[in-house]
């Protein structure tokens, strides 16, 4: 039963991060001037970097709150260790110096997939935005 609850928590974290990501990209896309200047692309990339960090912190907070409970633990359970572990999982780097034990592993596996999808989403959106900008330059 605890394993199922861990997957429910992972699904909830996934939903929260996807909504945040979508909202940030939509806001940036509709921002006046974003598509008019080369600086707009840099602003987009910088802002999305901060959004990714925020999403890493969301998962890191979940690890911190879940660790040491019926969900299992993260081997080094200080708050900053959980953030570091989250960054490792989100980027699918998986260093292995900090590792989960117990049902909390469901969240870790899900975070890797979430990070992969959201990073790819940001990269593809950035490419499309830059392509639009470059197409305007070619028209001149």
In this prediction, residue 70 carries a pLDDT of 94
Give all domains of the chain, ordered by start, each with its CATH number: 2-139 (1.10.287.70)
Per-residue exposure over 67-105, b if at least 16 CB sit within 10 Å of its own CB, e if not? beeebbbbeeeeeebbbbbbbbbbbeeeeeebebebbbb
Distance CA 126, CA 6 (A): 33
pLDDT at position 38, please? 64
The predicted model scores a pTM of 0.89
Residue 72's φ and ψ, nearest 5 degrees, are 105, -150
| Each residue's pLDDT expressed in tens, for the chain with a length of 140 residues | 999 999 999 999 999 999 999 999 999 888 776 656 666 778 888 999 999 999 999 999 999 999 999 999 999 879 999 999 999 999 999 888 999 999 999 999 999 999 999 999 999 988 887 777 676 655 55
C-alpha to C-alpha distances, 81 to 10, 85, 101, 108, 133, nearest whole angstrom: 19, 6, 15, 14, 40
- Give, for 7, the enclosing helix (H) or strand (E): helix 2-30
Strands (E), the chain: 73-74, 100-101
Q: What is the pLDDT of residue 36?
A: 60
58, HSE (Cβ side, Cα atoms, 13 Å): 24
SS3 call for 69: strand
């Amino acid at each position: 039963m605890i394993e199922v609850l861990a997957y429910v928590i992972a699904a909830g974290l996934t939903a929260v991060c996807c909504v945040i990501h979508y909202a940030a990209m939509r806001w940036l896309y509709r921002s006046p001037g974003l598509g008019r200047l080369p600086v707009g692309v840099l602003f987009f990339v910088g802002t999305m970097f901060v959004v990714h960090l925020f999403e890493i912190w969301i998962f890191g907070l979940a690890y911190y709150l879940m660790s040491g409970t019926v969900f299992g633990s993260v081997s080094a359970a200080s708050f900053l260790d959980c953030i570091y572990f989250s960054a490792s999982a989100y980027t699918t780097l998986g260093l292995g110096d900090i590792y989960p034990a117990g049902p909390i592993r469901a969240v870790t596996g899900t975070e890797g997939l979430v990070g992969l999808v959201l990073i790819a989403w940001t990269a593809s959106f950035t490419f499309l935005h830059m392509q639009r900008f470059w197409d305007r330059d070619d028209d001149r």
